[in-house]
């Protein structure tokens, strides 16, 4: 019987049908026993004699992959593969799949929520009122402002579609462009530098790669407007967090909405100290609909790949 390890805690939390599919396929399921993100050592231990894994943000580096001698398939629960050593997977003949577009609308919703919440100082006002401080706090406008979107995949496009309702002037950066989409939504191509100099709001949706690591840093933040609202729902390593902290503390930019960190949980991040930051627990995709869709697609991807590899009939 084929064995599958499932690491995401939210997997099939609302719709149990993926487990029925595993049962029908004759697959034994091993659930994450820790209730949290597995460590490298735990991954090595739990992947022994396992044919496939549905993977969250747990580490899947070369050592983990090479130690998992029975592993045939990594089915990513999401789209980001920065926690997977893709070269090591290829070398070990381990197939890697992603749940493309399963959570894009949910993350786009959350990115837009963060932009609005930071601009209107929603959390500050909420906390003040609960502490009997009814002082009016002056916020900034979003309607009609300039929005820069770094990364124009499904999530970035979702943010742009939402921005049209706010009559925003939209600038976009990517390494590849969908010209039809850009023309339809009147998106201006721009470099990261141009977006930082020009835009009032920036929403990040790029993958974390050597080229994008710490692309937002003290030097690039110096280019930004003092009214900038910066939102990141992509990957933490894209922003140099200490540099962002200094810029926010000095009121060099207006505020930030950060759902992703280089180290998660981000218990020790200095960003937690600041009022002009709204932080999240990497929860952009944490909606019932997105969880159901990611669970379904990740399961289907895994079962199909195991069939192709001859692990199940």
CA pair distance 252, 246, nearest whole angstrom: 8
- The answer to whether 78 and 58 are in contact (CB under 8 A) is no
Residue of 235, 273, 275, 296 with catalytic role: 235
- The answer to whether 102 and 11 are in contact (CB under 8 A) is no
Handedness of CA 269, 272, 274, 278 (dihedral sign): positive
φ and ψ at 294, to 5 degrees? -65, -40
Q: Apex CA 161: angle with CA 177 and CA 150, to 5°?
A: 45
What H or E segment, with its residue span, contains residue 258?
A: strand 255-258
Q: Give which of 14, 8, 5, 2 is closest to 293, Cα–Cα.
A: 14
Residue of 23, 41, 264, 273 with catalytic role: 264
The residue whose two tokens read 């009814």 is 134
Helix (H, G, I), strand (E, B) or coil at 157: helix
Q: Among this protein's residues, is 264 annotated catalytic? A: yes
Cα within 13 Å of Cα(295), Cβ side: 24
Residue 54, strand partner residues? 6, 75
Q: Among this protein's residues, is 121 annotated catalytic? A: no
Q: Among this protein's residues, is 162 annotated catalytic? A: no
Residue of 282, 296, 304, 309 with catalytic role: 282
Residue 204, strand partner residues? 150, 232
Residue positions annotated with a catalytic role: 235, 264, 282
């Amino acid at each position: 019987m084929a064995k599958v390890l499932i690491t995401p805690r939210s997997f099939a939390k609302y719709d149990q049908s993926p487990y029925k599919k595993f049962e029908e396929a004759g697959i034994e399921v091993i659930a994450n026993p820790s209730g949290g993100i597995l460590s490298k050592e735990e991954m090595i231990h739990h992947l022994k004699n396992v044919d496939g894994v549905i993977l969250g943000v747990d580490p899947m580096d070369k050592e983990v992959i090479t130690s998992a001698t029975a592993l045939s398939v990594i089915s990513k629960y999401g789209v980001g593969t920065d926690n997977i050593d893709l070269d090591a997977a290829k070398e070990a003949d381990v197939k890697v799949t992603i749940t493309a577009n399963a959570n894009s609308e949910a993350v786009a919703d959350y990115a837009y929520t963060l932009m609005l919440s930071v601009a209107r100082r929603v959390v500050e006002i909420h906390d003040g009122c609960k502490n009997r401080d009814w002082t009016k706090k002056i916020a900034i406008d979003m309607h009609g402002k300039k929005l820069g979107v770094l990364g124009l995949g499904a999530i970035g496009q979702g943010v742009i579609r939402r921005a049209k309702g706010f009559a925003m002037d939209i600038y976009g950066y990517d390494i590849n462009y969908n010209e039809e989409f850009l023309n339809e939504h009147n998106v201006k191509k721009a470099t990261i530098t141009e977006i930082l100099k020009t835009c009032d709001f920036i929403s990040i949706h790029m993958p974390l790669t050597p080229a994008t690591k710490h692309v937002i840093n003290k030097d690039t933040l110096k280019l930004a407007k003092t009214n900038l609202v910066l939102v990141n729902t992509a990957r933490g390593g894209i922003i140099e967090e200490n540099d962002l902290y200094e810029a926010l503390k000095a009121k060099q930019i207006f505020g930030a909405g950060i759902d992703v960190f280089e180290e998660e949980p981000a218990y020790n991040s200095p960003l937690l100290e600041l009022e002009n930051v709204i932080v999240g627990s990497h929860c952009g995709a944490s909606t019932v609909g997105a969880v159901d869709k990611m669970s379904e697609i990740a399961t289907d991807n895994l079962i199909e790949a195991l069939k192709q590899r001859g692990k199940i009939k």
